[in-house]
DNA sequence: CAGTGGTCTAGACCACTTC
DNA sequence: AAGTGGTCTAGACCACTGG
């Protein structure tokens, strides 16, 4: 049983969370098994019950544990653990998880005024411009999606300068390192036919149909930090999203 | 300033949450405005700081507030509040929000063995059957989606008996009242062409394309409680989902 | 009944922001 | 320096579950 380090700058509840996470991943705490009760954890790790409860409450929110009043605290199924943990993963990570090799081409990275729809979504003032990234995504070197990202300019200046890094990588990850951390996204999906440019880049026949998605990303304060439009031709990629119910 | 009732069976932190929610909705606490500090709330409502923090922490999780260390606690934008609150809404509610009149026809409600895909998703044993509901959804009396729901039978027996109620209503709501509360859903979307039955019911031309979705619903323990397949023809409905980033 | 998680208190010290 | 939220303690009583 590991001991929590009081000299460690990381909070005790956070250290306890990490210990429990590792025990779950290592299989010492199996799905649907009760973990030690709160008083037991208090005794084992020499912390107060409030600290134990803070650790457990956060693990419940992260989908690793569930509680039952009067019975105990239990380990969630791996299926739930993974899905809740992956509520927002990058496209490339998702491809790797499905055993595909992610790749991509960055066609354009430019500063433009943007269409009215884009300006509305990003709530720009009259003077502001947008960073526009145009990407062709590939899986095992086959084109599977055409994607255009828009970011509000003065705020995303540093992302613009590092735009070349996102050709086959994660825009969300780059944004997070530059002070534009996604907090919430709204996705919209609909069946649609491709534009001529999409048909060309994705090697589609005239009437081949697919799916179009729009996605607006917000930071913690509710400010829009990205707007993305993408086209997925039929049969090459399935978009998967995990939601939890807020009661 | 309302006073919390100690004789009320509802917990103090819960009463405080409700008071703050009402003040936000009534506009007494405007977006991006700081709410009273934690010590101020302690004094105003005569509760301990731990109680105040429990109320605030839950409101942060629900997307109504955000905290900034050293600065204060602030009200989220209505846009964020609404979207986070609607992480899983019923189809009919969603239509009403968009100003459309929801409706529907229940074609079939039956007990069947189910395809292998369905049986795998619901993790059925060899003896178990599934409840199958087949629905045509309408908005303003126009068909907009064809949907088939599967529920694991012995568990969903009471839902099966009340199946007629869900023709134009919410299956999730009915399930919740019958001990099958959704905790997590996994949605998958892809562009696709309609089957002949879908084309007929939705009045589609041969090559008209649309979107197909599959959705598996789980309860708190990770047990699958529903599996849904749906087809949305192009141009009639846009599927919107809100996600929050778990860090 | 004993054991579990749910609620609550009255303190304390710290890290961060602002002035 | 003053005020904010972040962490932590050592208790207490309650509601729910199980044998």
* pLDDT tens-place string over residues A143-174: 999 999 999 998 898 888 888 877 667 888 88
Q: In chain B, what's the furthest Cα-to-Cα distance?
A: 68
Mean pLDDT for A182-208 is 89
Half-sphere exposure of B25 (CA within 13 A, CB side): 7
Q: Which nucleotide is nearest to B48 (CA to C1')?
A: C9
> Looking at the predicted structure, is the pLDDT value of residue B2 above 80?
no
Mean pLDDT for B59-71 is 93
Q: Which of A107, A121, A116, A115 is nearest to A198 (CA)?
A: A107
Residue B46 phi/psi, 5° resolution? 55, 45
Strand runs (DSSP E) across chain B, as ranges? 65-68, 72-75, 102-112, 130-139, 142-152, 184-192, 210-218, 224-233, 239-244
Q: What pLDDT is stored for residue A58 in this prediction?
A: 95
**Which run of H or of E encompasses B39?**
helix B38-45
**How many beta carbons lie within 10 A of that of residue B112, not counting itself?**
13
Q: Which of A214, A130, A149 is nearest to B189 (CA)?
A: A214
The residue of A214, A219, A245, A247 whose CB has the most chain B CBs within 10 angstroms, and thus the best one to mutate to test that interface, is A245
Q: What pLDDT is stored for residue B70 in this prediction?
A: 96
Q: What pLDDT is stored for residue B93 in this prediction?
A: 80
As a CATH number, domain B80-241 is: 3.40.1410.10
Shortest distance between the Cα of A222 and any Cα of chain B, in A, equals 6
Per CB-CB distance under 8 Å, the chain B contacts of A185 are 242-243, 245
Which architecture, in CATH terms, is A12-75? Orthogonal Bundle (1.10)
Mean pLDDT for B221-229 is 91
Mean pLDDT for all residues in chain A = 88
Shortest distance between the Cα of A113 and any Cα of chain B, in A, equals 24
Q: What pLDDT is stored for residue B178 in this prediction?
A: 83
Distance A72 CA to D19 C1' (A): 16
Q: What pLDDT is stored for residue A108 in this prediction?
A: 77
Shortest distance between the Cα of B115 and any Cα of chain A, in A, equals 21
Burial of residue A84 (CB within 10 Å: 0-12, 13-18, 19+) is buried
**Cross-chain Cβ contact A232/B190 below 8 Å:** yes
Q: What pLDDT is stored for residue A2 in this prediction?
A: 64
Residues 6+ apart with CB under 8 A from A179: A158
> Looking at the predicted structure, is the pLDDT value of residue B77 above 70?
yes
**Cross-chain Cβ contact B187/A243 below 8 Å:** yes
Mean pLDDT for B68-85 is 84
Per CB-CB distance under 8 Å, the chain A contacts of B97 are none
Per CB-CB distance under 8 Å, the chain A contacts of B74 are 221
Mean pLDDT for B41-53 is 97
Q: Which of B84, B79, B73 is nearest to B35 (CA)?
A: B73
Residues 6+ apart with CB under 8 A from A209: A191, A192, A193, A234, B191, B192, B193, B207, B209, B210, B234
**Cross-chain Cβ contact B85/A246 below 8 Å:** yes
pLDDT tens for residues B106-159? 777 889 999 999 999 999 998 899 999 999 999 999 999 999 999 998 889 888
pLDDT band at B180 (very low <50, low <70, confident <90, very high): confident
Could you tell me how far CA B16 lies from the centroid of its own chain?
Answer: 25
Per CB-CB distance under 8 Å, the chain B contacts of A66 are 220-221
Q: Report whether B16 contacts B4 (CB < 8 A).
A: yes
Residue pairs between chains A and B whose CB atoms are closer than 8 Å: 174
> Looking at the predicted structure, is the pLDDT value of residue A86 above 60?
no
pLDDT tens for residues A43-68? 999 999 999 999 999 999 988 999 99
Q: What pLDDT is stored for residue A225 in this prediction?
A: 92
Domain boundaries, chain B: 12-75, 80-241
Q: What pLDDT is stored for residue B165 in this prediction?
A: 79
Pick from A31, A222, A240: CB nearest B80: A222
């Amino acid at each position: 049983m590991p001991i929590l380090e009081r000299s460690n700058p990381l909070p005790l509840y956070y250290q306890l969370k990490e210990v429990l996470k590792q025990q779950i991943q290592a299989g010492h705490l199996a799905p649907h098994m009760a973990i030690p009760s709160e008083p037991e954890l208090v005794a084992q790790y020499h912390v107060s019950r409030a600290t134990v409860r803070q650790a457990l409450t956060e693990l419940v929110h992260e989908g690793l544990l569930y509680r039952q009043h009067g019975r105990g605290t239990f380990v969630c199924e791996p299926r739930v653990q993974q899905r809740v943990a992956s509520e927002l993963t990058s496209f490339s990570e998702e491809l790797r998880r499905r055993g595909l090799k992610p790749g991509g081409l960055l066609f354009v990275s430019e500063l433009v005024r943007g269409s009215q729809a884009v300006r509305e979504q990003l709530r720009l003032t009259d003077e502001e411009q947008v960073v526009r990234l145009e990407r062709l995504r590939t899986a095992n070197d086959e084109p599977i999606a055409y994607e255009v990202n828009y970011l509000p300019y003065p705020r995303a200046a540093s992302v613009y300068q590092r735009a070349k890094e996102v050709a086959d990588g994660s825009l969300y990850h780059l944004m997070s390192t530059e002070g534009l951390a996604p907090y919430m996204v709204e996705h919209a999906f609909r069946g649609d036919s491709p534009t001529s440019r999409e048909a060309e880049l994705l090697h589609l026949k005239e009437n081949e149909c697919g799916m179009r998605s729009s996605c607006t990303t917000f930071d913690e304060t509710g400010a829009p930090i990205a707007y993305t439009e993408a086209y997925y031709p039929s049969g090459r990629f399935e978009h998967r999203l995990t939601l939890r119910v807020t009661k």
